[in-house]
Structure 1
Amino acid sequence: MRQRNKPWADTYLLEHTNLVIPNPSEYKNKWQELFGNSNPVHVEIGTGKGQFITGMAKQYPDINFIGIELAKSVIVTAAQKVTESGQSNIRLINENAENVMDIFGSNEIATIYLNFSDPWPKNRHEKRRLTFHAFLKRYEDVLNPSGELVFKTDNRGLFEYSLVSFSNYGMVLKEVSLDLHQLNDPENIMTEYEEKFSAKGQQIYRCKAAFKK
Structure 2
Amino acid sequence: MDSTYHRADLTIDQQHALLTAARTLSEEFAGAFGVETVERFLHTSYDQFAGGATIANFLPLLAERFARQRLRALARVEGKDSSGVPIVLFLCVHNAGRSQMALGFFAHLAGERALGWSGGAEPGEQVNPGVIEAMREVGIDITGEFPKPWTSEIVQAADVVVTMGCGDACPVHPGKRYLNWDLDDPEGRTAEQIRPIRDEVERRVRALLADLEISTR
TM-score, structure 1 as length reference? 0.43
Query: Higher helix share goes to which structure?
Result: 2
Query: Higher strand share goes to which structure?
Result: 1
- Whose Rg is larger? 2
